A and B are shown apart, each in its own frame.
Chain A
Amino acid sequence: MPSDVQVTPVRGAADRTAFIRLPYSLYRDDPNWVPPLEMERRDFLDPKKNPFFDYAEVELFLARRGQDVVGRVAAIKNPRHMEFHGTKEGFFGLFECVNDAGVARALLDAASAWLKARGIDTVLGPANFSSNQDWGLLVEGYESPPALMMPFNPAYYAGLLEACGFTKAKDLWAWELSSSTPPPEKVARIAEKIRKREGVTVRAVNLKDFPAEVARIKEIYNAAWEKNWGFIPFTDREFDHMAKEMKAIVRPELVLIAEVKGEPVAFSMTLPDANPAFKAANGRLTTFGLPMGLLKLVLASRKLKRLRLLTLGIKEGYRRRGLDAILYLDTLRTAKELGYTGGEISWTLEDNHLVNRAIESMGGQRSKTYRVFQRPA
């Protein structure tokens, strides 16, 4: 480790601002990077605003060489994850670093040490901050920008992590689907058959009844993902917070709830991929006090052409019946009607064969791979 790199925990407003602003300079020349809104990041790191802090402990670290900030990382102790899985796993996240293994090692060692002091034996990551938000390191598919709420990073990060002793824990896949190629005839036929046989009705979410709809989706979500690797259930506050954030960009026609005899049993959520709009805003709503970014954001958000299917969940007992095919098909049809050209389905676990096969059968192509790494603390 080069001795000139100083890693210190973030203390005070100036450090925090440096932590938040580092990526904007790091990615300045990367055409595919989508700058997050600085204010959104501030709220995300604000314990008073982000419900994740209700239960988790986070320490932020900055790496400096002289006066220059050259890297950052967050160490995350998530007691709910430990309890749910019965492990002593901790996380690192919000990892950004110049291409220098020494800096990366200094940062990750600081995070590891912090976690180890809190009784953690395995470090997983990157996670920002948990599997319910975005996580994984992009290891394949740098040639296109990331979809909404998916991570992005330079290609050298995987090498840095490996140099620091991290190995693959699990891969997450993103799939590309175009709405112009119609779904295979066979799938469509089967779906229709199931729809009739099971008495499935699919409806769009009703935003006027927002709280009740959120409650329905939450119930399905927490039940459906229970067995997934790395999953932890949302707390009520987290789910409501997320729903509130998504409400701003949601197209209700694309959030579908499948009901059998009036009981909601499955849902799928597709959001317009608002990243081009965020890209246009370039991190700020205002420039010299004028709402230029906001204007660009609003204008660009009217021209969104792509979607991201974030989640599709089916309650236990209704799986393997083809409900997913119905939801995929309906989403695809509506997307086409609304003028979207295509989009991404992400992410799926590499070993969730059931889902991966279903997406493949719909004509999905694997476009990006994200990797969750691990290392003993």
Chain B
Amino acid sequence: MTVRFSLFIDPHASSSPWVFTRPGNPNLERALHMESGSDHTPRRVRKTTMSDVFDKCRTWKDYRIAKATGLYPYFRAIEASHGATEVEIEGRRVIMVGSNNYLGLSADPRVKEAAIKATEKFGTTCSGSRLLNGTLALHEELEARLAKFLNRESAIVISTGFQTNLALASILGRHDIVFSDRANHASLVDGVRLSFATERKFRHNDMDHLEQLLAAAEPGAGKIIVTDGVFSMEGDVCNLPRIVELSKQYNARVMTDDAHAMGVLGEMGRGTSEYFGLEKDVDLVMGTFSKSFASLGGVLAGPFDVINYIRHKARSVIFSASMTPASIAAALKATEIIESEPQRRARLLDIAEKMHNGFRAMGFDTGVSVTPVVPVHIGDQVKCFRFWRALHEAGVFANPVIPPAVEAGHALIRTSYMATHTDAQLDQVLDTFEKIGRKLNVIPETRPTVYEPVKIARPGSAVRSNKASETWAAGSAGLLADKGFSLDQLSRMSSREMAGKFFDAVEQLTWRAANLQPEDLRRLGGAPKKLWEKRSELGGVLLEKGAQLFMRNGSDGSDGGNQAERN
């Protein structure tokens, strides 16, 4: 596969940490399928040169370019944690608004204590699979506890959330059909792909499309509808009431992935099905411990027969070492706290409301989210990186989400909150966003006079999403591609367009050179020294400037769209 203009994103990389988000994007999925397709088709053997499996790794430029430009936002090493809400990176304390530790329990002394005690009692690991030698009484205690908590006959805990979704493959047979939301998490995508079942994907939260697919499917086939409860990037909730209706009409099973919903949604924190009052109608519920449960691992709960089958058949269960004693104990304690301290959930939703409205009041667009996942629309990819960098330097840890994880022109900064964030921390985050937003022209100089207040998924409210603004809707539909620079867009451009852009860039440079004033020349005289001092950032600056020059984003005042808005 030749990729001419792959700087940041390369289809090869789509299953790598470059896409650290849930794939919600048809382009991405196309890319994924392209890849998997090519894996199954026999390749022509090159006759002339020897090929090396490692070639693709060596020729992969994205990482090197990002690293060289100082715009590499991934794998940031946290050196210390101060109550989870603040962490130390490169010796500096930053406010963490980029983790999924929704209830802040990872820093709770009771949870830590439980993990320590379990380690002291059982050691650091179980050294083996649940099936043979890795089952502790603690595992069974946690499973019983969770089955009770989730109102299910049975539950199984699996070493990671990802493996929990892979376990789904064990119950999907050759003649079964899986209906999945296009924005489902990668682990669900993989779980279905590992099975022999047929997959039918419906457009994100598009119930008409789902119905069409159900109606078109073989009536006699086993069917299951699989969806995320809360979508991790956009923060909206699945249309469970309609899904349940359709499942009854078409005789299909329903499974929800409540990774981001468990501990957050519902009176008791049991997730999406409790939130909609549909627990009896959802057959399988999946959750992870790495988010609200302050641990690591996953749970799958449902009818005893199904769970028991998975326990004995799922390869991600029987060929994997079991959860460590510390992880189980932490999850167990967290479950107890989730049940007994509903005020944490209330606080979390209050925070979500405060942050959504805070951002909206400044003129930011937080889209359709009704949850503590607060995505902030930036638009342009390079601007998104600059925004992320500026946040990083101002002491705020958030995550940039760029194409192809989102559509071109719809790059986001994703923030998420913990119940333990203090108001002072949150205000500082808002302040920082406002300053940077103005500096980078994401929001107007003055706050808009009105904004649409957010609706939050509080227990009993049954709201599923906020109304998408025009920009957001256009962004999700991929209509903003020409608004901002993205490398993706570059690769789609015809060579004629590209030449035009290039010549315009040369024109712009020539104009600037022709207009140099004596004082500019004096400044240029000092440039080599300044460049040397800033050599670490140089690449980033060059890339930004080059991209701006190329796409005419920077110099013609098109950032705000309307120059009159400045006044």
Known interface pairs A13-B552, A14-B482, A16-B556. Does A286 touch B561 (Cβ–Cβ under 8 Å)?
no
Minimum CB distance partner of A287 in chain B: B503
Known interface pairs A39-B507, A284-B507, A286-B507. Does A294 touch B514 (Cβ–Cβ under 8 Å)?
yes
Q: Are the C-beta atoms of A12 and B507 separated by less than 8 Å?
A: no
Interchain nearest-CB distance for B484 vs A (Å): 10
Q: Are the C-beta atoms of A286 and B562 separated by less than 8 Å?
A: no
Q: Which residues of B contact A285 (CB under 8 A)?
A: 507, 510-511, 514
Instruction: Tell me, yes or no, whether A108 is within 8 Å of chain B by CB.
Output: no
With beta carbons under 8 angstroms apart, the residue of A16, A38, A288 that contacts B558 is A16
Instruction: Tell me, yes or no, whether B6 is within 8 Å of chain A by CB.
Output: no
Q: Are the C-beta atoms of A11 and B502 separated by less than 8 Å?
A: no
Q: Are the C-beta atoms of B511 and A47 separated by less than 8 Å?
A: no
Instruction: Tell me, yes or no, whether B424 is within 8 Å of chain A by CB.
Output: no
Q: Are the C-beta atoms of B563 and A12 separated by less than 8 Å?
A: no
Residues facing A in B498-536 (CB within 8 A) are: 502-503, 506-508, 510-511, 514-515, 517
Q: Are the C-beta atoms of B555 and A46 separated by less than 8 Å?
A: yes
CA of A248 to CA of B517, assembled, Å: 9
Q: Which residues of B contact A37 (CB under 8 A)?
A: 511
Interchain nearest-CB distance for A286 vs B (Å): 5
Interchain nearest-CB distance for B348 vs A (Å): 38
Minimum CB distance partner of A285 in chain B: B510
Minimum CB distance partner of B511 in chain A: A39
Q: Which residues of B contact A274 (CB under 8 A)?
A: none
Instruction: Tell me, yes or no, whether B564 is within 8 Å of chain A by CB.
Output: yes
Q: Which residues of A contact B503 (CB under 8 A)?
A: 286-289
Minimum CB distance partner of B567 in chain A: A57
Known interface pairs A9-B562, A59-B562. Does A47 touch B557 (Cβ–Cβ under 8 Å)?
yes
Instruction: Tell me, yes or no, whether A291 is within 8 Å of chain B by CB.
Output: yes
Q: Which residues of A contact B567 (CB under 8 A)?
A: 53, 55-57
Q: Which residues of B contact A46 (CB under 8 A)?
A: 555-557, 563
Q: Are the C-beta atoms of A58 and B563 separated by less than 8 Å?
A: yes
Known interface pairs A16-B556, A42-B555, A47-B557. Does A289 touch B502 (Cβ–Cβ under 8 Å)?
yes
Interchain nearest-CB distance for B550 vs A (Å): 11
Q: Which residues of B contact A58 (CB under 8 A)?
A: 563-564
Q: Which residues of A contact B562 (CB under 8 A)?
A: 9-11, 59
Interface size on B, residues (CB 8 A): 25
CA of A287 to CA of B510, assembled, Å: 11
Instruction: Tell me, yes or no, whether B69 is within 8 Å of chain A by CB.
Output: no
CA of A48 to CA of B514, assembled, Å: 19
Q: Are the C-beta atoms of B511 and A17 separated by less than 8 Å?
A: no
Q: Which residues of A contact B556 (CB under 8 A)?
A: 13, 16, 42, 45-46
Residues facing B in A56-71 (CB within 8 A) are: 56-60
Q: Which residues of B contact A289 (CB under 8 A)?
A: 502-503, 506
Instruction: Tell me, yes or no, whether A85 is within 8 Å of chain B by CB.
Output: no
Instruction: Tell me, yes or no, whether B9 is within 8 Å of chain A by CB.
Output: no
Residues facing A in B73-97 (CB within 8 A) are: none
Q: Which residues of A contact B517 (CB under 8 A)?
A: 244
Q: Are the C-beta atoms of B555 and A13 separated by less than 8 Å?
A: no
Q: Are the C-beta atoms of A38 and B563 separated by less than 8 Å?
A: no
Q: Are the C-beta atoms of B563 and A53 separated by less than 8 Å?
A: yes
Q: Which residues of A contact B555 (CB under 8 A)?
A: 42-43, 46, 48-49
A30-47 CB mask vs B (1 if < 8 Å, else 0) is 000000011110110111
Q: Which residues of B contact A17 (CB under 8 A)?
A: 552
CA of A45 to CA of B555, assembled, Å: 10
Q: Which residues of A contact B558 (CB under 8 A)?
A: 12-13, 16
Q: Which residues of A contact B566 (CB under 8 A)?
A: 47, 53
Residues facing A in B472-517 (CB within 8 A) are: 482-483, 502-503, 506-508, 510-511, 514-515, 517
Q: Are the C-beta atoms of A12 and B506 separated by less than 8 Å?
A: no
Q: Are the C-beta atoms of A12 and B510 separated by less than 8 Å?
A: no
Q: Are the C-beta atoms of A291 and B510 separated by less than 8 Å?
A: yes
Q: Which residues of B contact A55 (CB under 8 A)?
A: 567
Instruction: Tell me, yes or no, whether B14 is within 8 Å of chain A by CB.
Output: no
CA of A291 to CA of B506, assembled, Å: 9
Q: Which residues of B contact A14 (CB under 8 A)?
A: 482
Instruction: Tell me, yes or no, whether B551 is within 8 Å of chain A by CB.
Output: yes
Interchain nearest-CB distance for A248 vs B (Å): 8
Residues facing B in A222-249 (CB within 8 A) are: 244, 248
Q: Which residues of B contact A57 (CB under 8 A)?
A: 564, 567
CA of A11 to CA of B552, assembled, Å: 14
Interchain nearest-CB distance for A53 vs B (Å): 6
CA of A56 to CA of B566, assembled, Å: 10
A285-313 CB mask vs B (1 if < 8 Å, else 0) is 11111010010000000000000000000
CA of A12 to CA of B511, assembled, Å: 22
CA of A285 to CA of B483, assembled, Å: 26
Instruction: Tell me, yes or no, whether B553 is within 8 Å of chain A by CB.
Output: yes
Q: Which residues of A contact B508 (CB under 8 A)?
A: 39
Minimum CB distance partner of B503 in chain A: A289
Minimum CB distance partner of A76 in chain B: B564
CA of A49 to CA of B515, assembled, Å: 13
Q: Which residues of B contact A45 (CB under 8 A)?
A: 556-557, 563
Q: Which residues of A contact B506 (CB under 8 A)?
A: 286, 289
CA of A284 to CA of B510, assembled, Å: 10
Q: Which residues of B contact A42 (CB under 8 A)?
A: 555-556
Interchain nearest-CB distance for A293 vs B (Å): 8
Most buried by B among A9, A47, A49, A57: A47
Q: Are the C-beta atoms of B561 and A11 separated by less than 8 Å?
A: yes
Q: Which residues of A contact B552 (CB under 8 A)?
A: 13, 17
Most buried by A among B482, B483, B502, B557: B557
Q: Are the C-beta atoms of B514 and A13 separated by less than 8 Å?
A: no
Minimum CB distance partner of B554 in chain A: A48
CA of A294 to CA of B567, assembled, Å: 36
Interchain nearest-CB distance for B69 vs A (Å): 23
Minimum CB distance partner of B558 in chain A: A13
Q: Which residues of B contact A284 (CB under 8 A)?
A: 507
With beta carbons under 8 angstroms apart, the residue of A12, A38, A59, A288 that contacts B482 is A12
With beta carbons under 8 angstroms apart, the residue of B502, B551, B553, B563 that contacts A47 is B563
CA of A13 to CA of B561, assembled, Å: 8
Q: Which residues of B contact A53 (CB under 8 A)?
A: 563, 566-567
Minimum CB distance partner of B505 in chain A: A289
Q: Which residues of B contact A48 (CB under 8 A)?
A: 555, 557
Interchain nearest-CB distance for B179 vs A (Å): 38
Minimum CB distance partner of A284 in chain B: B507
CA of A297 to CA of B508, assembled, Å: 16
Q: Which residues of B contact A16 (CB under 8 A)?
A: 556-558
Q: Are the C-beta atoms of A13 and B511 separated by less than 8 Å?
A: no
Q: Are the C-beta atoms of B563 and A286 separated by less than 8 Å?
A: no
Interchain nearest-CB distance for B435 vs A (Å): 19
Most buried by A among B510, B514, B552, B556: B556
Most buried by A among B510, B552, B563: B563
Chain A to chain B: the 6 pairs with minimum beta-carbon distance, closest first: A39-B511, A13-B558, A47-B563, A289-B506, A285-B510, A46-B557
Residue positions of B touching A, CB distance < 8 A? 482-483, 502-503, 506-508, 510-511, 514-515, 517, 551-553, 555-558, 561-564, 566-567
Chain A to chain B contacts (Cβ below 8 Å), 10 pairs: A11-B561, A12-B558, A14-B482, A37-B511, A38-B507, A42-B556, A57-B564, A58-B563, A285-B510, A287-B503
Q: A13-B553, A45-B557, A53-B567 are in contact. List 9 more A-B contacts (CB 8 A).
A: A12-B482, A12-B483, A13-B551, A14-B482, A47-B566, A48-B555, A55-B567, A56-B567, A289-B502
Residue positions of A touching B, CB distance < 8 A? 9-14, 16-17, 37-40, 42-43, 45-49, 53, 55-60, 244, 248, 284-289, 291, 294
